[in-house]
Amino acid sequence: MDVSALVEASDSGWAMIIGTVDSAGQPWAGRAWSVRYEGKGVMRVAIDGQDPAVGDCLADGAYVAVTAADVETLDSIQLKGRSIGVEPAKRADLAGVGRNVERLLGAIEDTDGLSRKIVSRFVPGEYAICRVRCSAVFDQSPGPSAGAALQP
Angle 85-90-91 from CA coordinates, rounded to 5°? 160
The phi, psi pair for 86, rounded to 5°, reads -115, 140
Q: Phi-psi bin for 41: left (phi > 0), alpha (psi -120 to 50), beta?
A: left
pLDDT for the residue 7: 64
pLDDT for the residue 1: 39
Torsion of CA 88, 90, 93, 94, to 10 degrees: 90
Global confidence as pTM = 0.89
Q: Under a CB-based contact definition with an 8 Å cutoff, are residues 76 and 118 in contact?
A: no
Closest by CA to 55, choosing from 33, 86, 30, is 86
Q: What is the DSSP string of 112-148?
A: H---HHHHGGGS-S-EEEEEEEEEEEEE--SSTTTTE
Distance in angstroms (rounded) separating the CA atoms of residues 82 and 16: 17
Strand partners, 130: 45, 86
Burial profile 114-129: b = 16 or more Cβ within 10 angstroms, e = fewer = eeeeebeeeebeebbb
- For 46, which DSSP code? E
For residue 68, count other CB atoms closer than 10 A to its CB.
25
pLDDT by position in tens, the chain (length 152): 355 666 666 677 899 999 998 878 889 999 999 999 888 989 999 999 998 888 778 888 899 999 999 999 998 999 999 999 999 999 999 999 999 999 999 999 999 999 989 999 999 999 999 999 999 988 888 888 888 888 66
